[in-house]
Every structure is written in structure tokens, then in C-alpha cells.
Structure 1
Amino acid sequence: MTTSVADPAAALCTADPVFGRPAKGIDTGRVGSLITQLLIELGEDPTREGLIGTADRVAAWWSAFLSPDGTATATRFTETQLSGQMVVVGGMSTWSLCEHHMLPMHLQVTAAYMPDGEVVGLSKFGRIAQHFAGRLQVQERFTRQVAEYLTDVIGREDVAVAVRGVHLCMSMRGVRMEEARTTTVHAGGCFRTDAVLSQQFLTVTAAQWGAP
């Protein structure tokens, strides 16, 4: 009995349509076998010194990277006297994988919101970014997902997210532009309607990112 080419991929996991990741853990044994096959097709010997155990390590990494971890949660704290203050969280750096070429992209994330009686736990911003980065992604979607999640957390659209990405699919293949940077910005609520507030956010963001 022959197995179609599509079967191995279908057997790895059941995709989560919401988060774009496996709904269940991947079959690392099966992935390891596929990596071994890939090495052979690339002209390598998986049993040679240096490659022994490589397939299993790659499979373990894929499992850790793609498996749901439940960390996209945020805690809110009551601060009734806070209003009219912009909160900006920057310096968040995470890795994701371009879904077009399956090459890494490094994402620097800055997020801002306007509190109104409640504040969001600061450590959660980084966890939210990591949660949406841990899958096959595109930067534009990642930016929107982080912004929409924060919008749900605060219950208002007064959220802005800026992301600067370095894409290896552009740096090490194709045009090979090592200094190329891609910037995406999602602005909602007052960040979209208030030009002064929007400029303040972009100024703070640029200062945090510094020179390319």
C-alpha cells in the first residue's frame, strides 16, 4: 500500500484555525523521520558524525515552538485614578517563522494603550508577543493579532502596536538585503483619531528602537 505525499503532513497535527498552531502536540517521532528523509534527499548522511541525533533535536524544537502553551493571558489591576496617561511597553524581542519560506524573522515589538480605571500587568505584554510569534507567521498578521488581543483585554480600541522585523527570507535569500527592516503599525481608537497622540507613540517607539 502506498502513502500519498500529503498524508505525512496531515498526520502531524490538527491545525487550530484561531491561533494557526497545532491544536494538539505534534508527533515528534514522525517529524524526526521526515527530517531524516529530508537530510538524505539533500545528499547528507544522517548517521555521520555531527548529524547523529539532529533529526530528533529538530523535531523537539518544532514541538516546543508550535505546541500551545496557554501563555496569551493578561492580568488587569484596578487603578481608578489613572486616565489620560499613555502606557508604552517596548524592548520586547521575539522570534517567529515566515510562513512563506519557513525562515526565521526577528521581531521587535512596542505596544501602547490608554488606561481608564485599570492597568494591564506589564509582564503579560511580552508573553502575548511570544504567544503569537510561536507559529508560522507573517509580520502584518502578527501585529494585528497582538493589537486585537490587547484591545480585548482593555475592552477598548485605544491600543497601538508597532513591530520592526528582520526577515531572513529577505536577508539570506532573494535580494539578500542584510540591512532591510520591515515596520508595521496598528493604531486603534484614540491612536488612530488623535494625530498628536499617534506621533507621541511613534516618537517613543523610534527612540526605543534606536538606529537600525
Structure 2
Amino acid sequence: MHSVARPGSTISTTSTPVRDPNGLGWPAKSTLDRLHESPSARKEREAKLAAAVRTLLECIGEDPEREGLMRTPARYAQALLWMTKGYEERLSEVINDAIFAEDHDEMVIVRDIDVFSLCEHHLVPFTGKVSIGYIPNKLVLGLSKLARIAETFSRRLQVQERLTRQIALAVEEAVQPRGVAVVMEATHMCMTMRGVQKPGSTTMTSTMLGAFRDRQKTREEFLTLIRSPSSLHR
């Protein structure tokens, strides 16, 4: 197994961030600023965010000067920037040349990848698991990169439907496989802590591309494999 370069591919260390009308890249152009900001600009961003958190605390009737909250604005600013660090990552850097020539032509599946994201509607977490499968077309992707792709897109303000599709499009962009399938199941805190307040409810989304979309048997095989009990845990 050896690494290969694909002429004409946008996956390269010198390419611009991948952006397309289907939402593979950044949802807002302003988020691109985080890719290139200087250390001083980063500090300014943190300070501005911390000031906003302080205002938020005041608006809910709290005292930002009391002992338990004195450092909360700075802590939350740093935490929120970390939880959205996917805005600072290029797909090319995530892949990092981990594309290999291989004749394997059956499914490659990594399942039950833990994901953590923030709902863009209420800025509260949703957490779950994602399973990713693809059918190679002479090229395979390093297995850990499937998890890294999921992590990169989940570390942004998201909706589950878009996150599922972005992961699938990223795998398709990386290795041009015969098909890609992504299934995600998640619990949304905006449904359990507020609103309808239904603890235990889950949301499932899927994106099927290529052979998985066109061939029912291929799709059913993937769904059966990701639902079957793991032999490693018997």
C-alpha cells in the first residue's frame, strides 16, 4: 500500500479550502478568517467573546463578579472556540496525504464513531454516533481519517442533516469512490432540556451517494452491517 497523488484533485496541502454549493465547506465566508488569523487577532477574538459572555450572564440576572463566575467568561470563550475549531481546519490538512492505491473493491466501514456538535439554532450540544462506509475505486483512505473528517465537520455550528451530508461529500471528494454511505444517530439537548422535553428521543439521518443510492441491495448490505452486533464484544 503506497500513497498516491491525484492530478487535478483539490485535496492538496496548497489548495484553497474546499467549498461547493452543497455545503461541503464553510457555511459563512467570515468563518474563513479563523484559518488565517494571527496570535494577536486570536486574543482579540477571545476577549470579545468573553465580554459577550459577561453580558449574557448579566442579562440572565447573574453577577459576573461573584466567585464562581469571575473566570467563566474567559473559560467559556476558550471552550467555545475549541468546540468550533473545525472552522480552522482544511479538508486537505485533515486528509494529510493518507490516500493509498489499493485494489480492494468491497465496502470499507468504520462504525459507531462518537461525535459531539453544537446545534446552530440554540447553541446547545447534540451528541451521537456516526457510521461511514464507502466502496473504493482504486483508492482507499486511512481509516483514522474517516473519524477525523467526522470530527472536523462536527466541530462547527451544525444541524444534523447538513453534518451527515458534509461527511459523505468529504469522503467522496477525497477518494472518488464508487459510493459513500453515512448514517448518524444523535440526541439533541434542545429536545431534552427545553421545548418538547423528550429525554431518550433520538434523531437518525443518512446520506447515500453513488452505488449506495442507486442500488438497493448495496444500501441494505451497509445498513445490515452497521446494525449487526460486533464480534469483538461477544
**Could you say which TM-score interval applies, normalised by the shorter chain?**
0.7 to 0.9
Q: Distance in 2 between matches of 1:193 and 1:33?
A: 51
8 Å Cα contact 2:32-2:88 kept in structure 1: no
Corresponding position of 2:162: 141
Go from structure 1 to structure 2 and tell me whether the alpha carbon gap of 1:146 and 1:135 turns closer, same or farther (over 3 Å shift). Answer: same
Code of the aligned partner of 2:158: Q
Go from structure 1 to structure 2 and tell me whether the alpha carbon gap of 1:65 and 1:208 turns closer, same or farther (over 3 Å shift). Answer: farther
RMSD: 2.0
- Structure 1: unaligned runs, 5 residues or longer: 1-15
Secondary structure, aligned partner of 1:198: helix
Corresponding position of 1:20: 27
Corresponding position of 1:8: none
8 Å Cα contact 1:108-1:164 kept in structure 2: yes
Q: Distance in 2 between matches of 1:149 and 1:165?
A: 20
Code of the aligned partner of 2:33: K
Q: Can you list the C-alpha shifts for 1:175-201, whole angstroms capped at 9, x where unaligned?
A: 111111111111111111221211111
The equivalent position to 1:103 in structure 2, one of 99, 114, 124, is 124
Code of the aligned partner of 2:219: S
The percent of aligned pairs where both chains have the same amino acid is: 34
Go from structure 1 to structure 2 and tell me whether the alpha carbon gap of 1:118 and 1:156 turns closer, same or farther (over 3 Å shift). Answer: closer
Q: Distance in 1 between matches of 2:90 and 2:112?
A: 19
8 Å Cα contact 2:132-2:181 kept in structure 1: yes
TM-score scaled by structure 1? 0.84
Q: How many residues align?
A: 192
Secondary structure, aligned partner of 2:116: strand
Measured after TM superposition, the shift of residue 89 of structure 1 is 0.6
Q: Distance in 2 between matches of 1:64 and 1:203?
A: 35
Secondary structure, aligned partner of 2:128: strand
Measured after TM superposition, the shift of residue 93 of structure 1 is 0.7
8 Å Cα contact 1:36-1:46 kept in structure 2: yes
Superposition pairs for residues 132-211 of structure 1, below 5 Å? Answer: 132-207=153-228
Corresponding position of 2:51: 33
Q: Which runs of 4+ in 1 moved over 4 A?
A: none
The equivalent position to 2:84 in structure 1, one of 44, 52, 66, is 66
Go from structure 1 to structure 2 and tell me whether the alpha carbon gap of 1:208 and 1:49 turns closer, same or farther (over 3 Å shift). Answer: farther
Q: Can you list the C-alpha shifts for 1:134-171, whole angstroms capped at 9, x where unaligned?
A: 11110000011111111111214510000111100011
8 Å Cα contact 2:115-2:127 kept in structure 1: yes
TM-score scaled by structure 2? 0.76
The equivalent position to 2:100 in structure 1, one of 77, 87, 107, is 77
Code of the aligned partner of 1:99: E
